[in-house]
């Protein structure tokens, strides 16, 4: 009896300690909390001393004073005042001709300041500054976190969550990153991923608590700062697939050899299949799995080939995985295993099944099973790219997976391939074609120059889609044309040059923002 009571007491104390640890972690941390980082002395780390003249050194020192004052304003939440100081500092930094890596610190803090002024118009400036950051800024997890905050504030949740996930991969005990990542998912209505982040954080808390309670000499290593490039890519999403329809279930059978009784079963099966596919498109996953299950039974009774059955089984696997029910994992595995090679002949099916294999892998506890299906997901993504090298979504998924596996070299290679495909797509493809390939379309305009009141060309106002941009009280800039691929813009640019416009140049826009290309 005494032993039993003693064990109960020990269990109570241990549980209390564990729960109190969770409470401490949660109570101290606030979602989206961040602290300004100066790193003013690191600016010169990215500057070659041999390139510094006496004048540039003076300018850098002058900029340093204003930059530090701006940081003090940020710490006091005086963001408009901080912006004014940073602008003054930026002028001197720019005149000193330091490189973009050295400018990361001031650009990052300016972006954060613009994000927190409370003026929606300032978010445009914040976005522009974030686009100017180089990969060097992501070599420090604290900077990576602050950039993630700025990305979230400007509405770029995709980039923010990617950065925070990278921080957690680098340091599993970075609880601030967990708290903020969970909040971003919740705020966007993604309760599923929010719950996953919460579970992972609690596991990390428990692990940390066990190490503290053990009293051993085991030391929790301080996270090593990793030199990583800015994560670009997107997570394979089972819930946003373009479901394949109108499959020919009898493509692999000799129709003349099918008897009448079997044909009745086949026709009924195709009818159930069409209902299932429609439900799957409407994200009615349980309904879809019921119709597709009936379709499989009837098509099997009709004795069609295994190749023909693969269409039903492929969509059944997707439907079962999309329900999110653990009980359906076994069913989805069975259908994935029974697919034949013929289904991978089209890009659409190859990609959808790559995502299905990734989704199945992500839910596995067994390392071997996880690796097996993740390897297949990567293989099928590569196949889909071979089938259509300009399919941007598959490129982005590969980048995400390689970053998730911390295989940065492969991720960089995948990113390079993505960039090549994106450039080829925007060079000659139409708006509709760009969208179909998974990319947001670019808009190209031609800047015809800036003119004053008395030197404006006569035919300027006859140009289509003319945009007038005041530069100063005496000068105005003019942009003309509206093109969705680069080749058309280049043709127009050459035409304008022949018409006497001195140095017309092309400007690219995406989502209403001017971008580099």
- Are 353 and 255 found together in one domain? yes
Domain assignment of residue 485, yes or no: yes
Q: What is the pLDDT along the chain (517 residues), one digit of tens a residue?
A: 444 444 444 443 344 433 333 433 444 678 899 999 988 888 888 777 777 788 888 888 898 999 999 999 999 999 999 999 999 989 988 888 888 888 999 999 999 999 998 888 888 898 989 989 888 888 888 999 999 999 999 999 889 998 998 899 888 889 999 999 999 988 888 888 888 888 888 777 777 776 665 544 443 344 444 434 444 678 899 998 989 988 899 989 888 888 989 999 999 999 999 999 999 999 999 999 999 999 999 999 999 999 999 999 999 999 999 988 888 999 999 999 999 999 999 989 999 999 999 999 999 989 899 999 999 999 999 999 988 887 888 998 999 999 888 888 898 889 888 888 877 766 655 556 556 655 566 778 888 888 876 677 777 877 887 877 777 777 888 888 888 777 888 888 888 888 888 888 888 776 555 655 5
Residue 77: give its domain's CATH number. Answer: 1.25.40.10
Same domain, 124 and 194: yes
Residues 193 and 276 in one domain: no
Identify whether residues 202 and 100 lie together within a single domain: yes
User: What CA dihedral angle connects 467, 471, 473 and 478, to 10 degrees?
Assistant: -30
SS3 sequence of 455-491: CCCHHHHHCCCCEEEECCCCCEEEEEEEECCHHHHHH
Domain that holds residue 487: 443-515
In a domain, 498, yes or no: yes
- The neighbour count for residue 97, using CB atoms within 10 Å, is 13
Percentage helix, strand, coil for the chain under 3-state DSSP, each rounded to 5: 65, 5, 25
**CA pair distance 247, 463, nearest whole angstrom:** 48
Quick one: 186 and 255 in the same domain? no
For residues 261 and 198, membership in a common domain is answered with no
409 inside domain = no
Instruction: Pick the closest to residue 247 from 269, 268, 274, 272 (CA basis).
Output: 274
Q: What is the pTM assigned to this prediction?
A: 0.47
Query: Phi, psi (5° rounding) for residue 446?
Result: -115, 125
Domain identity same for 51 and 166: yes
Give yes or no: residues 61 and 175 share one domain.
yes
Secondary structure (DSSP) of 181-239: HHHHHHHTT-HHHHHHHHHHHHHHHHHHHHHHHH-SS---PPPPPP--PPP------GG
CA–CA dist 515, 509 (Å, integer): 6
Count of helix runs (H) and strand runs (E) in the chain = 19, 5
Q: How many domains does the chain have?
A: 3
The three-point CA angle 469-95-468 to 5° equals: 5
Q: Are residues 95 and 131 in the same domain?
A: yes
Look at residues 372, 387, 402 and tell me which one is the last residue of a structural domain. Answer: 387
Nearest CA to 307 out of 251, 355, 261, 346 is that of 251
């Amino acid at each position: 009896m005494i032993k039993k009571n003693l064990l109960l007491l020990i269990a109570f104390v241990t549980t209390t300690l564990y729960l109190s640890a969770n409470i401490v972690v949660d109570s101290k941390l606030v979602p989206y909390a961040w602290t300004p980082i100066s790193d003013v002395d690191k600016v010169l780390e990215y500057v070659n001393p041999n390139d510094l003249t006496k004048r540039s050194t003076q300018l850098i020192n002058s900029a340093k004073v204003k930059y530090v004052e701006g940081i003090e304003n940020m710490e006091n939440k005086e963001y408009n005042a901080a912006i004014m100081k940073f602008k003054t500092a930026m002028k001197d930094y720019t005149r000193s001709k330091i490189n973009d890596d050295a400018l990361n610190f001031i650009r990052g803090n300016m972006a954060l300041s613009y994000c927190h002024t409370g003026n929606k118009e300032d978010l445009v400036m914040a976005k522009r500054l974030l686009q100017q950051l180089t990969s060097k800024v992501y070599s420090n997890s604290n900077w990576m976190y602050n950039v993630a905050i700025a990305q979230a504030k400007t509405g770029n949740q995709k980039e923010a969550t990617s950065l925070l996930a990278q921080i957690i991969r680098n340091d599993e005990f970075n609880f601030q990153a967990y708290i903020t990542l969970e909040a971003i998912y919740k705020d966007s209505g993604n309760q599923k991923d929010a719950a996953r982040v919460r579970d992972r954080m609690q596991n990390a808390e428990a692990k940390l608590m066990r190490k503290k309670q053990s009293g051993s000499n085991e030391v929790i290593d301080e996270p090593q700062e990793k030199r990583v490039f800015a994560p670009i890519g997107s997570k394979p999403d089972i819930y946003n697939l373009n479901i394949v329809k109108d499959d020919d279930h009898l493509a692999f059978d000799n129709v003349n050899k099918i008897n009448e009784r079997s044909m009745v079963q086949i026709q009924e099966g195709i009818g159930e299949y069409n209902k299932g596919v429609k439900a799957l498109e409407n994200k009615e996953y349980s309904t879809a799995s019921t119709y597709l299950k009936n379709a499989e039974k009837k098509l099997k009774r009709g004795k069609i080939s295994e190749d023909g059955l693969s269409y039903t089984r492929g969509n059944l696997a997707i439907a079962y995985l999309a329900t999110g029910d653990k009980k359906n994992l076994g069913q989805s595995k069975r259908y994935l295993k029974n697919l034949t090679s013929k289904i991978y002949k089209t890009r659409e099916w190859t990609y959808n099944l790559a995502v299905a294999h990734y989704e199945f892998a992500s839910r596995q506890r067994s390392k071997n099973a996880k690796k097996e299906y993740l390897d297949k997901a990567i293989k099928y993504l590569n196949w889909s790219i071979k089938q259509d090298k300009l399919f941007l979504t598959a490129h982005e998924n590969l980048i995400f997976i390689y970053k998730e596996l911390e295989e940065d070299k492969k991720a960089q290679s995948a990113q390079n391939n993505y960039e090549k495909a994106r450039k080829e797509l925007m060079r000659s493809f139409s708006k509709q074609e760009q969208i179909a390939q998974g990319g947001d379309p670019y808009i190209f305009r031609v800047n015809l120059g800036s003119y004053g009141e008395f030197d404006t060309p006569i035919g300027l106002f006859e140009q289509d889609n003319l945009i007038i941009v005041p530069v100063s009280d005496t000068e105005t800039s003019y942009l003309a044309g509206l093109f969705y691929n680069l080749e058309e813009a280049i043709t127009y640019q050459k035409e304008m040059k022949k018409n006497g416009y001195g140095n017309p140049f092309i400007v690219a826009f995406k989502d209403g923002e001017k971008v580099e290309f």
